[in-house]
């Protein structure tokens, strides 16, 4: 797996505590509705959510690639890579219970979410796989600091296809935590609130951001070598 996609996958996996907090309520309801197998609804929801992430990643990657036409590609990629890891550090601090700066960033996405939220509400109750898929697509746009940090990474990836792949990897990394949350909602909700769990998860997320910033001086060589998202 290419480095940017691998970093995004790790961020999704380590950010499970935050993901369960953002989407735990809805994935919990997927196991409670009557019609159809719960696992099929969980899969459909995650498919829709990851599809939304990938679409957003393609847009971010395309937007980032425009800097190439302006002749400032390397500087722009380095800046976006720095922003992505700085946001990840802020998120880690928030998850661990230290600071709420990340909430200001999440607030920036509220105007878009207000437009999408009515569509999301029409998917309720989520009592079929079709509704679960629609809910996943809608909830994929909910304001989330972790998603925003990954979108900055996608913007630094090189293009629309690469950006989509970064967000696909991120989405896949979030699946284990959300599947577990949906199938054992109450137990995992109590677990994620435990101070030790939150601090450990927050430290892991922040450490990932620090590691990314430490690698920043060698970013030019990595980009020259070709950081691309390929099968």
Asked whether the CA dihedral 13, 155, 57, 100 is positive or negative, the reply is positive
pLDDT tens-place string over residues 171-214: 999 888 777 766 665 455 555 556 676 677 677 777 777 877 77
| CA dist., res. 219 & res. 181, Å (int) | 36
Kindly give the parts of the chain with pLDDT less than 50.
34-35, 186, 224, 226-231
| CA dist., res. 28 & res. 25, Å (int) | 5
Residue 172's pLDDT is 94
């Amino acid at each position: 797996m290419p480095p940017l996609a691998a970093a995004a996958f790790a961020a999704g996996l380590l950010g499970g505590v935050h993901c369960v907090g953002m989407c735990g309520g809805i994935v919990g309801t997927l196991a409670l509705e009557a019609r159809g197998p719960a696992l099929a609804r969980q899969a459909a929801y995650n498919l829709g959510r990851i599809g939304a992430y990938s679409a957003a990643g393609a847009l971010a990657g395309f937007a980032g690639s425009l800097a190439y036409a302006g002749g400032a590609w390397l500087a722009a990629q380095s800046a976006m890579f720095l922003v992505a890891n700085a946001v990840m550090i802020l998120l880690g601090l928030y998850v661990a219970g230290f600071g709420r700066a990340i909430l200001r960033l999440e607030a920036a996405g509220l105007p878009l979410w207000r437009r999408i939220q009515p569509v999301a509400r029409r998917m309720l109750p989520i009592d079929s796989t079709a509704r679960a898929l629609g809910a996943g697509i809608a909830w994929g746009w909910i304001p989330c600091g972790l998603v925003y940090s990954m979108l900055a990474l996608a913007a630094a990836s090189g293009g629309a296809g690469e950006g989509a792949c970064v967000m696909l990897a991120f989405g896949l990394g979030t699946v284990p935590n959300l599947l577990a949350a949906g199938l054992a909602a109450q137990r995992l909700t109590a677990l994620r609130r435990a101070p030790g769990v939150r601090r450990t998860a927050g430290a892991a997320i922040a450490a990932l951001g620090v590691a990314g910033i430490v690698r920043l001086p060698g970013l030019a060589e990595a980009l020259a070598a070709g950081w691309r998202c390929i099968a």
